[in-house]
Structure 1
Amino acid sequence: MFGDLSGMMDKLKEAQQKVEETKTRLNSVLVDETSADKKIKVTLTANREIKAISIDESLLADKEELEDYLIITLNKAIEKASKINENEMAIAAKAGMPNIPGMDMFK
């Protein structure tokens, strides 16, 4: 029984290590999003950290328009980054999960 428990603990540690490695790797995965008219471009990591924002000068004259563009474009970029992040983290967690009866929801 203790042999199984020890093996299970090793698998859980392995899963945790895979998740941490995936988090680190996702810092280098860049997600770009551009507004429909190409006036704003944002770049995020797959961990949803903003790396760059480029704004067309024509938007600088109208504060409200600029704010609207930023909100829409950032939300789209965050949504893309979140999907990548969730998929990669699920794969990493699933790969290291021990075979525990009744815990097949990760498969």
Structure 2
Amino acid sequence: MDLMGMMGKLKETQQKIEDTKNRLDTVMIDEQSNDALLKVTLTANRTIKSITIDDALLEDKDQLEDYLILVLNKAIEKATNVNAAEIDAVTKMDMPMIPGMEDLFK
């Protein structure tokens, strides 16, 4: 086994992962409630960029809180799936997995 070659490959893969994470900051995930009264946008790295709340929701604090939880959770789930797929693609493409190494890429 070429240890130096593998270390170089590992460094290269880590750089590609960092590049991918930086790119995912520019990938926007939009989600909204079924009636479109609440809309959120976040990056694929799960940073919230905007929340738009229709005035109708401002009259009912409990309803607004429920909407926020539901819509944010759906958006975070979507962003997490995009993020995981992109990072997995980089690590699987570039690295022959060695038992225990997958923890380095989380």
State the TM-score, normalized to the length of structure 2. Answer: 0.89
Alpha carbon RMSD of aligned pairs, Å?
Answer: 1.8
Of 77, 80, 102, the residue aligned with 2:78 is: 80
Offset at residue 55 of structure 1 (A):
0.2
Q: Which SS does the other structure have where 2:50 is aligned?
A: strand
Structure 2: segments with no counterpart, 5+ residues: none
Percent identical among aligned pairs is 59
- The equivalent residue for 1:66 is 64
Instruction: Work out the number of aligned pairs and report it.
Output: 101
Greater Rg, structure 1 or structure 2? 1
Matches within 5 A, 1:20-31: 20-31=18-29
Residues 36 and 99 of structure 1: is their aligned pair in 2 closer, same or farther, counting only changes over 3 Å? closer
What is the distance in 2 between the residues matched to 1:79 and 1:99? 26
Q: Which SS does the other structure have where 1:43 is aligned?
A: strand
Cα deviation digits, residues 26-47 of structure 1 (max 9, x gap): 0000000010000000000000
- The equivalent residue for 1:18 is 16
> Contact 1:35–1:73 (CA<8 Å) still a contact in 2?
yes
Offset at residue 96 of structure 1 (A):
2.2
Structure 1: segments with no counterpart, 5+ residues: none
Shift >2 Å, 4+ stretches = none
Offset at residue 99 of structure 1 (A):
6.7
Matches within 5 A, 1:36-75: 36-75=34-73
